[in-house]
């Protein structure tokens, strides 16, 4: 039995780990990776103390800090949480089960997928979700960007620097991103840039790599010869494994109060998986708040006779 299980090792989870282990608790961090989305950032300029630092370097510093304390770590995907008489059990994709008296969920968010045939098959073989990370792999190749929000427009601008042809495919009738980016794309792209509005992706095809996408728009179906497909259609909170246990917003973010309490006593949440603005310093701060709330929860639990905690709901009837 661990005192606290933290799910996710981005800025929120690692900060929560540092705070809770310093209180003397046994802390287990279960995460798919260490660093989270910040690893994808090529330059962070708004984390105080660092004028400019790559996301990877910043996360390495968080990791070194966390690992200077006796924090246990498991690399796995959490698939479910269950209430138990003495706390919670956390299930992972590899069939393991871990017990904790309190849980902090800090699982952030992940890119939304298109859900079309070929997407899953060519993930990592032409289908990419992070232009900042993967654009250099497509130098000299024709590519498509799906989604004309700010992320899609910025991805297209970045790709234009190295790709001979960039097609931006958008399902609605106008680009949702800032005009400054669309203007720049038209100006800098010239013939090498094409914007297809009211157009959806039907399928992705290829052999060992992506070779084409089929799109459907005002002029019917078309096959575009591309070797890269950058999917930039938004993000979704990584809360699926906890959805049945906790109250979520309509967007799937975990509802928390200003201390990080979820709708379930003993389960806290922090960072991008909740409703807060999505920034590193905010995620770290929210991780610290959730850690302090977990501390309060465990102190109160220790101070009360065990039978007063309702074993089904985890609620203290007092
Ligand atoms: C390209 C890019 C650039 C950015 N640049 C900046 C910037 O310059 N400045 C800034 O302030 N913010 C920036 N951000 C936003 C910032 O990265 C996020 O707000 C921040 O990472 C959120 O931290 P988090 O800990 O809440 O979640 P995340 O960083 O998403 O970490 C979540 C962690 O949970 C793990 N996880 C998820 N699901 C599971 C599961 N089921 N089981 C186990 N583990 C799981 C993940 O592997 C990860 O380790 C950027 C984001 C991106 C994508």
CATH superfamily of 2-111+235-308: FAD/NAD(P)-binding domain (3.50.50.60)
Ligand 1 centroid to Cα of residue 69, in Å, is 22
pLDDT band at 314 (very low <50, low <70, confident <90, very high): low
Pick the residue whose CA is nearest to atom 20 on ligand 1. 280
Beta carbons within 8 Å of 161's beta carbon, 6+ residues apart: none
Over its C-alpha atoms, the chain yields an Rg (Å, rounded) of 22
Q: Are 150 and 236 in contact (CB under 8 A)?
A: no
Residue 123 has pLDDT above 50, yes or no: yes
- Which of 280, 287, 288, 290 is the pocket-test mutation for ligand 1 (most atoms within 8 Å of CB)? 280
State whether CATH 3.30.70.260 applies to domain 127-231.
no
Per the DSSP assignment, residues forming a β-bridge with 210 are 206
Total residues found in the chain within this entry: 318
Q: Where in the chain is the domain with CATH 3.50.50.60?
A: 2-111+235-308, 127-231
Structure tokens at 2: 């661990």
Which pLDDT score, from 0 to 100, does residue 305 have? Answer: 61
Residues within 6 Å of ligand 1 by CB: 7-13, 30-33, 36-38, 40-41, 44, 46, 77-78, 106-109, 132, 238, 241, 271-272, 278-281, 283
8 CA distance to ligand 1 middle (Å): 9
Does position 204 have pLDDT exceeding 50, yes or no? yes
Give the residue numbers annotated as catalytic, written as ranges. Answer: 130, 133-134
CA of 157 to the centre of ligand 1 (A): 23
Report the C-alpha gap between 142 and 222 in whole angstroms. Answer: 16
Other beta carbons within 10 Å of 259: 14
Q: Per-residue pLDDT tens for 216-269? A: 999 999 999 999 999 999 899 999 999 789 999 999 999 999 999 999 999 999
């Amino acid at each position: 039995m661990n005192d606290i299980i933290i799910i996710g090792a981005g800025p929120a989870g690692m900060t929560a780990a540092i705070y809770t282990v310093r209180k003397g608790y046994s802390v287990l961090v279960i995460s798919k990776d260490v660093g989270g989305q910040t690893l994808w950032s090529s330059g962070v300029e708004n984390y105080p103390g660092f004028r400019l630092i790559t996301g990877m370097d910043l996360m390495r510093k968080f990791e070194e800090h966390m690992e200077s304390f006796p924090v246990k770590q498991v690399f796995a995907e959490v698939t479910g949480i269950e209430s138990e008489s003495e706390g919670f059990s956390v299930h992972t994709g590899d069939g393991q089960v871990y017990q904790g008296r309190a849980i902090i969920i800090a699982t952030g968010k992940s890119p939304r997928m298109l859900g079309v045939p070929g997407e899953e098959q060519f993930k990592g073989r032409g289908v990419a979700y992070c232009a900042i990370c993967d654009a250099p792999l497509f130098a000299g190749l024709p590519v498509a960007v799906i989604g004309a929000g700010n992320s899609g427009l910025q991805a297209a601008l970045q790709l234009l620097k190295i790709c001979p042809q960039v097609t931006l495919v958008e399902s609605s009738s106008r680009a949702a991103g800032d005009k400054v980016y669309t203007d720049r794309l038209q100006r800098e792209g010239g013939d090498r840039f094409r914007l297809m509005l009211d157009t959806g992706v039907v399928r992705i095809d290829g052999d060992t790599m992506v070779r084409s996408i089929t799109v459907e728009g005002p002029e019917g179906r078309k096959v575009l010869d591309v070797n890269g497909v950058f999917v930039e259609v938004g993000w979704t909170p990584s809360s699926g494994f906890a959805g049945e246990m906790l109250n979520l917003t309509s967007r799937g973010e975990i509802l928390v109060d200003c201390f990080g309490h979820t709708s379930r006593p003993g389960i806290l949440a922090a960072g991008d998986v909740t409703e807060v603005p999505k920034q590193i310093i905010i995620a770290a701060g929210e991780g610290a708040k959730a850690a302090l709330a977990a501390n309060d929860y465990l102190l109160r639990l220790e101070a009360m006779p065990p039978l007063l905690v309702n074993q089904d709901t985890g609620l203290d009837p007092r």
